[in-house]
Amino acid sequence: MTKSTTHASDFKGLPPELFGFLEGLEADNSKAYFDANRKIYDNSVKAPVDALKDELERDFGPLKVFRMNRDIRFSKDKSPYKTWVGFTTTDRAVGGIGSFWQATAEGMKVATGAMMLESDQLSRYRDALVNDGPGGEFDQIRADLAADAMEVGPGDMPQYKRVPVGCPKDHPRSAELLWKGAIVIQSYDRARWMHTDVVADRVRAVWSSAQPLLDWFERHVGDSAKPARKR
C-alpha cells in the first residue's frame, strides 16, 4: 500500500533528450555512441530516472535501477547496452515477484506481478491455481483488475504448450497453468505528459492498483530458493 506523503519532489518529468538518447542507442548500440553522448546520458537520462526512483521510493520502498550494460557472455547478441532504462522492486532478474518501470524510445511500461517464475515457484503457483481457495482468490483479483482496465496475463513471456503433468487438462484455469508467471502491464506511447511529473502519478496508480496480485504471489508462491541471476 502507498503512504500518503507531502513533500517537494526533484522529479520534473522525463526530458525529450532521454527518448532521443535511447532512439540513437537503438540505431547505434556502440561504446563510441555512448561515450560521445555521455553528458546527455548523465544529465537527461540517469539524473531524471534517479529522481523518479527517489520519488517512488517514498511510497514503495527501495528500488533497483537496471544497469545499462548487457551481460553478453552467453548471448549471441553482443550489443553492449540495453536500449531502455528502468528500475524494479525486486532483486531477481528471473523468478522475481514485484513491480517495474521501463522507458524506451517509444514510450514507457509500468508492470506488477511475477516474471519468469523459477521451477520451485512454478510448482507452488500451479498448486495454488488448482486449489479452490487460492485459485478463487486469483480469479477475483483478475476480475477486479479487469474492471479497472488492467488485464492480468502472461505478458511477453513464452508459455507452455501443454498443461503440466499432474494438473487436470480440463481444469477451469488450464490456460493460466500454461503461464510462466502472471503480470499486469500498462503500456504508454510516447507523449508530452511524460515530460512532466505526471509520470510518477501513473506509476503509483498502476503499482497501487495491482498490489492485490503481488500480495497473492507473496502468500502462495514466494521467493525462489535458487540463487538470483544477474540482470
pLDDT tens profile 146-167: 999 999 999 887 788 888 777 7
Listed range (15-29, 51-65, 213-227) with the worst mean pLDDT: 213-227
Q: What is the pLDDT of residue 1?
A: 45
Is residue 197 within 8 A of residue 13, CB to CB? The reply is: yes
Give mean pLDDT, residues 87-110. Answer: 89
Radius of gyration for the alpha carbons in the chain, expressed in angstroms and rounded: 19
DSSP string, 12-36: ----HHHHHHHHHHHH--SHHHHHH
* 88 backbone dihedrals φ, ψ, rounded to 5°: -145, 160
Decide which of 10 and 168 is more confident.
10
Decide which of 92 and 223 is more confident.
223
pTM equals 0.88
Q: What is the pLDDT of residue 81?
A: 96
Q: What is the pLDDT of residue 5?
A: 46
Cα(104)–Cα(40) distance, integer angstroms: 15
> Residues of the chain with pLDDT > 70: what percent?
93
Q: What is the pLDDT of residue 113?
A: 95
Closest listed residue to residue 182, CA positions, set 110, 115, 83: 115
Q: What is the pLDDT of residue 93?
A: 64
H-helix or E-strand spanning residue 216: helix 211-220
State whether residue 172 is helix, strand or coil: coil
Confidence of residue 74 (pLDDT cuts 50, 70, 90): confident
The CATH classification of domain 16-220, taken from the options 3.30.70.1150, 3.30.1200.10, 3.90.1150.10, 3.30.930.20 = 3.30.930.20
Give mean pLDDT, residues 167-185. Answer: 89
Confidence of residue 7 (pLDDT cuts 50, 70, 90): low
- Domain residue spans of the chain: 16-220
pLDDT of residue 75 exceeding 90, the answer is no
Cα(163)–Cα(174) distance, integer angstroms: 6
Cα(110)–Cα(69) distance, integer angstroms: 21
Average pLDDT, the chain: 90
